[in-house]
Amino acid sequence: MSALESANKIKAKFGDIVAGPTEFRGEISLKISDAEKIFDVCRFAKSIGFDYLVDISSIDNYGEDPRWTVVYHLRAIGNGEEIRFKTDVSEEKSELPSVLPVWRTANWHEREIYDMMGIRFSGHPDLRRILMWEGYPFHPLRKDFPLAGKPSDLPGVAFTQVTPMEGGPFVTLPSSSDSIAREPRVRVPENAERAISDKRLVDGKLK
Amino acid sequence: MATVQDIEIPDSAARAAAIEEAQDIQGEKMVLNMGPSHPATHGVLRIVLELDGEVITKADPDVGYLHRGDEKIAENMTYTQFIPYTDRLDYLAPLANNVAYALAVEKLLGIHDNLPPRCQYIRVMCAELARISSHLLGLGAFAMDTGAVTVFLLTFTEREKIYNLAEAASGARLTTSYTRIGGLMRDVPPNWCDMVRQFLKEFAVALAEAHTLLTRNRIWVDRLRDLGVVSKEMAIDYGLSGPNLRGSGVNWDLRKNQPYLCYKDLDFDVALGSVGDCYDRYLVRMEEMKQSMRILEQCCNKIPGGAENKSKEPVNVADGKITLPSKEKVLTSMEELIHQFMLVTEGVNCPPGEVYFGHENPKGELGFYINSKGGGTPYRLKIRAPSFINLSILGELMPGAMISDVPVILGSLDFVMGESDR
């Protein structure tokens, strides 16, 4: 059975909520129009042999509606078939069912997506941040989160405000001065005093 | 700044009461914070262990201390500019990461099956050298954490030679950035194959020595066997990959199951474990190094154009819209000048679409999911980091083990935080 046949089998089972299959570079993709059904589709896919969840990724279609796309890569270890599910989630909802009961590897994948994109997974028992720290106010992989050093006109995002750790012991201050002056260690008071006595620090600025 | 602190020394009655109180809390669980800078955690992994005496009752791995936002960075630069960042994913096998990333972008371009044969062979050799290098470090650190220091010295001597080979090929020992989209930075030097052969000769001795030091070592076997057992079903359920998956007896190797580059033409075996304990994972890695040696040997003999490339086999695809033209051409021909300008400023023009490419990296399946809207920059680039996924099983594997088993389990999983945290 090829991946295309499996895709058609899934389509036959779930009918009009499944669009596709589309093929690009030999990879089969199915689009699931109802994100709430993703758990059922995945459970069925596992029952027909897709026992290995390779990866879950998420895409921010910024400026479009629905804003989020969640992408699942499935594999059948037995015969090597691979299939991809894609499903859209609107920004207001930002939530879809967790597939953790189907594959336990989904645990960290879903935590990562929650951390990086801010999409929640209902039914996930332990939806905490994983790469960023608890309490970090942003979801950095969103398209409206700018890279450090790139100005952003968007209101209320990262670097238009004070960053959460600004002034911290190991955070370099954003400024146009050279790398020596921006070095966090020169902000330690005794270093600053030494800089003043060495006449390197004038009016709070390093020369 | 000096501070003054008062130290209270309670009288004997108060001390006795304190001891009484302490006895009441005996039997309570203790929480021990291991890492993020613990020598056995191979980087900045932090594990919050809940202990009942010396037995672990709960383990909560905490990753992210080395998060640099590589996926975000990738969205903001051209495909070629991201190659140096792949060096820093699994920094114990940068050559393999370069190959994996280049292949993913080439799959998006639709040229991954039509690469010049010489390029394919060199890439395979790079990936296998990286595999040996990564397994050597994994083994050395694993043995050292378990108390066998000699192996570490042995494997590091050999790794140094692989760094020399990487330096000869790419000019850098660690941050190789050797591949380019559609080819390589440059061909290998004429004596490179001889250097590889020389290395293989010496490495065979060192590997045999490591075997004699460990494989039948009573202490080593006692500490590794029946520890951290991952069943076949569990390995698949948790999405383990690479030696950790094969250690559990799952016959899955992307080099065999989804052959890419010239792996179809090469003869090698896939090492499989049977029980899925730490000892099996150790044996799988040892055997993989041996198979990598076989692959390298065959590549040295079969490489198109021979070691010196007298027949001038190309290493880059002959497409001016993908690979950079020679400098001479740029300075003398208008078309090549335009190509050079467009490639450097705009990047390789990729078609819209999405691809996933998984590469059998030393640590497991390193996958790149690229979502392109056309142009020279990915719209979204997701890195499937094998270390990240291999670590997610820790919470299941640790409970029931003792504290002294933690370095053994961690060493047998062989992860690297640069890749896990991205």
ipTM score of complex: 0.82
CA B242/CA B263 separation, integer angstroms: 16
The CA distance from B419 to B76, in Å, is: 20
Q: What is the mean pLDDT of residues B202-218?
A: 90
| Confidence bin at A175 (pLDDT 50/70/90) | low
Count of C-beta atoms within a 10 Å radius of residue B400: 11
Q: Rounded mean pLDDT of B12-41?
A: 70
Among chain A residues, the shortest Cα distance to B252 is held by A77
Q: Are B410 and B40 in contact (CB under 8 A)?
A: yes
Q: Does A170 touch chain B (CB under 8 A)?
A: no
The pTM score is 0.82
The residue ranges of DSSP E strands in A41-159, in sequence order, are 52-60, 68-75, 82-89, 95-97, 120-122
H-state helical runs in chain A: 3-14, 38-47, 106-117, 179-182, 189-197
DSSP bridge pairs for B353? B372
Q: Give the CB-side neighbour count of residue B82, counting CA atoms within 13 A.
A: 32
CB contact under 8 A, B392 and A77: no
Q: Does B107 touch chain A (CB under 8 A)?
A: yes
* Strand-pair category, A82-89 with A27-32: parallel
Q: Does residue A5 contact residue A79 with C-beta atoms inside 8 Å?
A: no
Say what the pLDDT of residue B85 is: 92
What's the mean pLDDT when you consider all of chain B?
Answer: 87
- In the numeric block, which tokens belong to residue A65? 């509606």
Give the pLDDT band of residue B69 (cuts 50, 70, 90).
confident
B175 touches chain A (CB under 8 A): no
By C-alpha distance, the chain B residue nearest A106 is: B238
Report which of A86, A2, A99 is spatially closest to residue A42, judged by C-alpha positions. A99
> Per the structure block, which two tokens stand in for B126?
């790079």
pLDDT score, position A158 = 44
Q: State residue A13's pLDDT score.
A: 81
Nearest to B376 by CA among B74, B75, B78, B72: B78
A130 with B108: Cβ contact below 8 A: no
* Nearest alpha-carbon partner for B404 in B227, B259, B243, B229: B227
CB contact under 8 A, A25 and B392: no
β-partners of residue B402 are: B55
Least confident of B45-54, B89-98, B272-281: B45-54
Q: What distance in Å separates the CA atoms of residue A74 and residue B93, rounded to the nearest whole number? A: 26
What pLDDT score does A160 carry? 46
**Which of B108, B380, B421 comes nearest A131 by C-beta?**
B421
Residues B131 and B125: their CA atoms lie apart, in Å, by 10
pLDDT mean across residues, chain A: 78
**A77, B63: Cβ pair inside 8 Å?**
no
Q: How confident is the model at residue B7 (pLDDT cuts 50, 70, 90)?
A: low
Mean pLDDT of B242-263: 90
State phi, psi for B141 to the nearest 5 degrees: -70, -40
- Please report residues of A whose CB lies closer than 8 A to that of B369: 55, 57, 71, 73
**Is the predicted pLDDT of residue B2 greater than 70, yes or no?**
no
B77 Cβ under 8 Å from any chain A Cβ:
no
A19: region left, alpha or beta (phi > 0 left; psi from -120 to 50 alpha): beta
Contact B258 A25 (CB under 8 A): no
Q: How far is A45 from chain B (nearest CA, A)?
A: 14
What b/e string do you get for B112-139 counting C-beta neighbours within 10 Å, with b at 16 or more?
beebbbbbbbbbbbbbbbbbbbbbbbbb
Read off the pLDDT of residues B306-359 as tens digits, 9 standing for 90 and up: 888 888 888 888 887 888 888 888 888 888 888 888 888 888 888 998 999 999
Any A CB within 8 A of B379 CB: yes
Using an 8 Å CB-CB cutoff, list chain B residues near A131.
63-64, 67, 421-422
Contact B231/A at CB under 8 A:
no
Query: Could you give the CA distance from residue A206 to residue A199 in angstroms, rounded to a whole number?
Result: 9
**Of the candidates B313, B402, B326, the residue with the CA atom closest to the CA atom of residue B56:** B402
| Structure tokens given for B106 | 């080439």
The confidence band for A191, taking pLDDT boundaries of 50, 70 and 90, is low
Q: CA of B66: which chain A residue's CA is closest?
A: A131
Put simply, whether A103 touches B (Cβ < 8 Å) is yes
Q: What does the pLDDT look like over B113-145, one tens digit per residue? A: 888 999 999 999 999 999 999 999 999 989 988
In terms of DSSP bridges, do strands A201-202 and A205-206 run parallel, antiparallel, or are they unpaired? antiparallel
Residues of chain B with Cβ-Cβ distance to A109 below 8 Å are 389
Highest average pLDDT, of A188-192, B69-73, B289-293, comes from B289-293
State how far the Cα of B110 lies from the Cα of B368, in Å rounded to an integer.
Answer: 15
pLDDT at A194: 58
Reported as a single tens digit per residue, the pLDDT across B151-185 is 989 999 999 999 999 999 988 888 898 998 988 98
For residue B286, name the pLDDT band (cuts at 50, 70, 90): very high
Query: Span A63-79, mean pLDDT?
Result: 89
What are the residues facing B383 on neighbouring strands?
Answer: B368
Q: Do A59 and B110 touch (CB under 8 A)?
A: no
Q: Tell me if B237 and A104 make a contact (CB, 8 A cut-off).
A: yes
Task: Compute the distance between CA of residue B240 and CA of residue B247 in angstroms, rounded to an integer.
Answer: 10
Distance separating the N- and C-terminal Cα atoms of chain B: 37
- At CB < 8 A and 24+ separation, what contacts does B265-271 make? B265/B302, B266/B124, B266/B295, B266/B298, B266/B299, B267/B294, B267/B298, B268/B292, B268/B294, B268/B295, B270/B246, B271/B243, B271/B246
The pLDDT score that the predictor gives to residue B357 is 92
- Please give the torsion angle defined by the CA atoms of residues A112, A116, A117 and A119, in that order, rounded to the nearest 10 degrees: 30
The per-residue pLDDT for A15 is: 80
Distance CA A182, CA B84 (A): 25
Q: CA A57 to CA A72: how far, in whole Å?
A: 7
Q: How many CB atoms lie within 10 A of CB A161?
A: 12
CA torsion through residues A136, A142, A147, A151, sign:
negative
Helix, strand or coil for residue A83? strand
Distance CA(B302)–CA(B313), nearest Å, equals: 13
Size of interface A-B (CB pairs under 8 A): 90
User: Which residues pair with residue B381 across a beta bridge?
Assistant: B370
- Identity of the residue in A73, A84, A130 whose CB atom sits nearest the CB atom of B64: A130
CB contact under 8 A, B236 and A27: no
Confidence check: pLDDT of B9 > 70: no
Residues A2-24: pLDDT tens digits? 778 888 888 888 888 888 788 88
Q: Work out the percent of chain B whose per-residue pLDDT is above 90.
A: 30
